[in-house]
Amino acid sequence: MTTAAHTMTLLASLILFAGLGAFVWLALAWVARLAPRASLTMAGANAALVASVALHMSRGVLPDALTFWPGDVLAVASFALLGAAVSAITARHLAWKPGALVVAVAAVLLAAVPYGDDLRWQARVVSLASAGLTLGAGVGAWRALGSSGSWGSGRRTPAPLALPLFLIGTLLLVRAAETVLPSGGTPDLRVPGEFNRLFLWTALVLTLLQNATLAFLLLMRLILRIERLLERDPLTDTLNRRAFDQALAHAHAWLARGRRYALVMIDMDHFKQLNDTLGHAAGDAALRQLVAVLQPCMREVDRFGRLGGEEFCLLLPDTDIAGAALVAERMRALVEHTPLRWLEQDWPVSASFGLAEAEHGDADASAVLARADAALYRAKRQGRNVVQP
């Protein structure tokens, strides 16, 4: 195979694999209904890459006005769409405006530079704009994947999964730098040469790697969403009883290693009366408000679950009874001073709190839970809206 034929084969392979990627992402969007906006955006990124490379290969066959400028603009657009899709998958926000602005600026610059025998300026505009878009998407993905809680269950998704974006961005910067070097003279990908062959082989591998990585992240997002549905209370988005019992058992297992914990049992006062007076919709709103009011008092390591009805429990790792009392008193005051707004009126809300600290003599976590429950009933008997250790 001649060098020219080898280069054209690599370009055709890039079209084939990007086209296959577009088809797969369309299937994920329309058939599987998996993150449709992100999947359609990724399909668009692959399709724009296919169109760009196809127009590049058609230079000299089709009129220049249909191949040069449109092909270069589509190349930048493909990376803008890639960045938007990465944002939609990792941060769940389709950030398309920055990419659209970069494409518009690149289109104007490319229109201002005449196309002729020397295409180095065009290659620089396309490469630098595309590199900026890709590296920006990589930084955003790294931050989103490295932050806890963004993927549910307080997990951290490995940030190195954003590495293909940095590799693609670096490859594009190398291409831009190559046009500046005295030996550089291959801004047209059809021109046979060692640099173009290496560039196309690397681009082919990274195209496959980037599509596979994003598909993996999308699948992980689906799995985490299912896990979240299995462990969360659908009304309040707190842990359900099964998930809270698992967290409690885990905390009790650490008790033997010297890590204490405390429990705060919480029960909304006069909840049945509120339900009977205002209706179940108001009762649901009151429970959601209770959870929202209590959230600022919790640390990231704490676990908060709904045990049933209007009864909740807060697990405080590395906390003794005195620390739990401080947290509970702050919660009690916040609930008392946050009435429920319903039917254009403010309805008073309060809650009672029972505390217990784990002891080394406790056979299992149920003993600690029983003491916290008994303390809660004492608080109820004392007139409610109190904290009882």
User: In the chain, what are the domain boundaries?
Assistant: 3-229, 241-388
Angstrom distance (rounded) from CA 156 to CA 146: 6
Please name which of 123, 40, 146, 55 lies closest in space to residue 85, comparing C-alpha atoms: 40
Which three-class secondary structure state does DSSP give residue 384? Answer: coil
Fold topology of 3-229: Rhopdopsin 7-helix transmembrane proteins (1.20.1070)
Q: What are phi and psi of 58, to 5 degrees?
A: -90, 0
Question: Does 7 or 22 have the greater pLDDT score?
Answer: 22
Angstrom distance (rounded) from CA 275 to CA 280: 5
pLDDT computed for residue 152 by the predictor? 47
pLDDT computed for residue 2 by the predictor? 65
Q: 129-148, pLDDT tens digit by residue?
A: 999 999 999 998 888 887 64
Q: How many CB atoms lie within 10 A of CB 2?
A: 8
Long-range contacts made by residues 60-69, C-beta under 8 angstroms, separation at least 24? Answer: 64/115, 68/115, 68/122, 69/107, 69/110, 69/111, 69/115
Pick left, alpha or beta for residue 80 (phi over 0 → left; psi -120 to 50 → alpha; otherwise beta).
alpha
Checking if the pLDDT of 103 tops 80, the result is yes
Span 226-235, average pLDDT? 86
Q: 35-94, pLDDT tens digit by residue?
A: 899 999 999 999 999 999 999 999 889 998 999 999 999 999 999 999 999 999 888 888
* Kind plus residue range of the DSSP H or E element containing 39: helix 36-57
Q: 309-337, pLDDT tens digit by residue?
A: 999 999 999 999 999 999 999 999 999 99
Q: Are 311 and 267 a contacting pair, CB within 8 Å?
A: yes
Question: Does 29 or 160 have the greater pLDDT score?
Answer: 29
pLDDT computed for residue 237 by the predictor? 92
Angstrom distance (rounded) from CA 296 to CA 314: 13
Q: 36 forms bridges with which residues in the sheet?
A: none
Long-range contacts made by residues 5-8, C-beta under 8 angstroms, separation at least 24? Answer: 6/192, 6/197, 7/189, 7/190, 7/191, 7/192, 7/193, 7/196, 7/197, 7/200, 8/57, 8/190
**Assigned architecture for domain 241-388:** 2-Layer Sandwich (3.30)
CA distances from 260 to 34, 299, 331, 357 (A): 42, 16, 21, 8
Q: 301-311, pLDDT tens digit by residue?
A: 999 999 999 99
Active site positions, annotated: 310
pLDDT computed for residue 228 by the predictor? 78
pLDDT computed for residue 158 by the predictor? 60
Q: 336-386, pLDDT tens digit by residue?
A: 999 999 988 999 999 999 999 999 889 899 999 999 999 999 999 999 999
pLDDT computed for residue 139 by the predictor? 92
Checking if the pLDDT of 185 tops 60, the result is no
Q: 352 forms bridges with which residues in the sheet?
A: 267
| 7 class by beta-carbon count within 10 Å (0-12 exposed, 13-18 middle, 19+ buried) | buried
CA distances from 351 to 23, 221, 243, 282, 328 (A): 55, 36, 23, 16, 10
Q: 187-211, pLDDT tens digit by residue?
A: 777 777 788 888 889 999 999 999 9
Angle between helices 97-112 and 120-146 (to 10 degrees): 170
Q: Are 368 and 362 a contacting pair, CB within 8 Å?
A: yes
Q: 233-254, pLDDT tens digit by residue?
A: 999 999 999 999 999 999 999 9
Long-range contacts made by residues 268-275, C-beta under 8 angstroms, separation at least 24? Answer: 268/310, 268/349, 268/350, 268/351, 269/349, 269/350, 269/351, 269/352, 269/380, 269/384, 269/385, 270/350, 270/384, 271/309, 271/310, 274/340, 274/347, 274/349
pLDDT computed for residue 147 by the predictor? 66
Cα 79 → chain centroid = 20
DSSP 77-114: HHHHHHHHHHHHHHTS----HHHHHHHHHHHHHHHHSP
Q: 265-274, pLDDT tens digit by residue?
A: 999 999 999 9
Checking if the pLDDT of 3 tops 80, the result is no
Question: Token digits for 265?
Answer: 């049992």
